[in-house]
Structure 1
Amino acid sequence: MAMKGRLLLVPCPLDFGGTDTASDIRQTLPQGALEAAAGLQHWVVENARTARAVLKRVGAVAPLAAPLQQLHMVELPRPPKGRQAQPAPDLRPLLQPALQGHDIGLMSEAGMPAVADPGAALVATAHALDIPVRPLSGPSALLLALAASGLNGQSFAFNGYLPVDAAERATRIRELEALSRRAAQAQLLIETPYRNEPMLSALVTTLQPSTRLSVSCGLTLQAEWTRSDTVARWRAQPRPLPNDVPTVFVFQA
C-alpha cells in the first residue's frame, strides 16, 4: 500500500495578493514555509487567482516545483447562498492526490487557512481519511491582534461576524460583553472592510465606558496600527477606520 501524502496548511500574507506594492513575502512567512509551499504541485485553495499571485511571490524566493500553469489547483466549494439547509459537499475527491502519495497544500486568501477562513471541513475530511495534517508557521490576524491588544490572552473567544442589522448587532454586542465580564474573557470580532466604520461605531456606542476596546488595522502592512483603550476614551477621541483594510476588533469588560 502506497504511503499517503500530507495536507499542508499553508499561511498566506495578509496583504491580499501580488500587487506591485505588496510587501516582501519573506517579512511575513518563514523560509521553511516558503520552501514547503514551493515544493507542492497539488493545491486546494479559496481563490485560485489569489493563490497564483501568492505562489508567484513564493517562486521569486524559492523555486517552484513546477511552472504556475502546470500546478494542479482546485477551489474549495463555496457555501450555498440563502438560509436553506444544504447537504455538505463531499470533499474526499479534493484529497485524492494525497491518497496517491502526493502532498497537498491548503491556502486561503489571507492568513491561516481554516482559522477565520475556509478549510476546516477539508482538514476534518483529511483526518477521517487518516491523511496527516501539518500546519505551517505564518501570520494569523486574530492572534496578532490579540497579542497587540494587551487583553486576556489566556482566555479569549473568536466570534466571527456580527449581525448586519443594527438592533441585532447591538444585542449581540451586549451579550458578548456580559460574557466577557463573567469569564474575564477577551472577545474577538472581524468585519468586511467596507463595514469597518459601522462596526466600530456600534462597539463604541453599545459597550460600557469602562470596557477596553482594541482595534488592529492593516496588520503586517507598512501602515498597520493598533489602538487599545477604554470605550470612554474612544468616545472622547475617535479614530476613523479605512473602508478597504482588514481590521480585527477585540474587547474585554
Structure 2
Amino acid sequence: MKTAKVYVIPSLLGESSPERVLPTYNLDIIRELNHFVVENEKSARRFIKTILPEKVQSELKIEILNKHTGDQEIPKLLEPLKDGKSIGIISEAGMPGIADPGARLVWAAHQNKTPVIPLIGPSSIFLALAASGFNGQSFSFHGYLPIDKRERRQVLSRLENKSQKEGSAEIFMETPYRNNKFLEDIKQTLSKNTRLCVACDITLESEMIYSGTIQQWNSMQVDLHKRPAIFILQA
C-alpha cells in the first residue's frame, strides 16, 4: 500500500487561467485525491471543477479548516490517513499554509510523521516580492495592519524605521474594498524617498505591479478598489 501523504495544493488567485499558473503534475495529484481539507467548501469545489471538470463532485469528502476551527478538531481532519488515504489542503487563494490556517494541519501532519508534499503554484506574497525589485534576502510579512487610522500609521512608521535600519522589505495587505484609503494613508505617512510596491490582481489579465518612491506614487492616480493587492515598502 502506498504511503498516505498530505499535499499542499495551491489554488488560483481569482479567475486566472489554470494552465498559466498550475503545472499538469498538480492535476495528476488532485485527480487521485478524494479527501480534502479546505478553508471554504464552495470555492474549493469550484476550483476543482475548474481544473478537473470530469472529477465527480459527489465523491469528494471535504472537511473545513478555517480561523474558527478549534485545536481539538485538527486530529479528526487527519483520520483518512489511517486508512491509507492521502489528503489535499486547499485555501481560499494561493498557497495553503502561508498566511493561512492550513499551517495548523501541516504541523499536525508532521507530528503524525506523515509526509507533507508542497505542490508548485501561485503565492501572491512571493510573486509580489519577486516583481518588486526590493530586498529578497531580508523580508517580513505582517498580514493585515490595524484598521484604526492612528494605529495603522504608527505601525507603518515602525515598519519604515525597521526597513531603514535593516535594509529589509516589509510586506503587508489590506481588505480589497479599503485599498484606496489604505494607499492614501501610506502616502501620507511614509517619507518621500521610501519605496513602495503595489501588486494587485496578480496572475489575472488586469494585473498591475508598480514599484516607485512615495514621491512618485504621489504623482499617480490608481484605482485599487476591490482588487486583491500586496503592499511592500523598503526605506
Report TM bin, short chain. over 0.9
SS in 1 for 2:143: coil
For 1:151, the equivalent position in structure 2 comes to 134
Separation of aligned partners in 1, 2:167 and 2:27: 38
Q: 1:124 to 1:36 in 2, by over 3 A?
A: same
Aligned with residue 57 of structure 2, among 32, 48, 68: 68
SS in 2 for 1:219: coil
Separation of aligned partners in 2, 1:4 and 1:130: 11
Preserved CA contact (<8 Å) 2:66 2:101: no
Separation of aligned partners in 2, 1:140 and 1:45: 17
Q: Report the Cα offset of residue 77 of structure 1.
A: 4.2
TM-score, structure 2 normalization: 0.95
Larger % of helix: which? Answer: 2
Q: Which amino acid in 1 is paired with 2:7? A: L
For 1:5, the equivalent position in structure 2 comes to 4
For 2:46, the equivalent position in structure 1 comes to 53
Q: Report the Cα offset of residue 90 of structure 1.
A: 3.2
Q: Which residues of structure 1 form unaligned runs of 5+?
A: 16-21, 81-86
RMSD: 1.5
Separation of aligned partners in 2, 1:153 and 1:78: 29
Deviations 1:44-89 (A, max 9, x none): 00000000001001214xx53xx11111101114338xxxxxx733
Separation of aligned partners in 2, 1:6 and 1:100: 11
Q: Which amino acid in 2 is paired with 1:248? A: I
Aligned with residue 106 of structure 1, among 89, 101, 123: 89
For 1:117, the equivalent position in structure 2 comes to 100
For 1:252, the equivalent position in structure 2 comes to 234
- Identity rate, percent: 40
TM-score, structure 1 normalization: 0.89
Q: Which residues of structure 2 form unaligned runs of 5+?
A: none
Q: Which amino acid in 2 is paired with 1:68? A: Q
Separation of aligned partners in 2, 1:37 and 1:50: 15
Separation of aligned partners in 1, 2:2 and 2:21: 32
SS in 1 for 2:80: helix
Deviations 1:12-38 (A, max 9, x none): 0101xxxxxx34311111111121112
Separation of aligned partners in 1, 2:108 and 2:158: 33
Preserved CA contact (<8 Å) 1:38 1:55: no
Aligned with residue 198 of structure 1, among 181, 185, 192: 181
Separation of aligned partners in 1, 2:117 and 2:163: 33
Separation of aligned partners in 2, 1:110 and 1:77: 13
- Number of residue-to-residue matches in the alignment: 235
For 1:37, the equivalent position in structure 2 comes to 30
SS in 1 for 2:89: strand
Q: Which amino acid in 2 is paired with 1:53? A: R
Preserved CA contact (<8 Å) 2:200 2:207: yes
Q: Which amino acid in 2 is paired with 1:178? A: N
Aligned with residue 128 of structure 1, among 103, 107, 111: 111
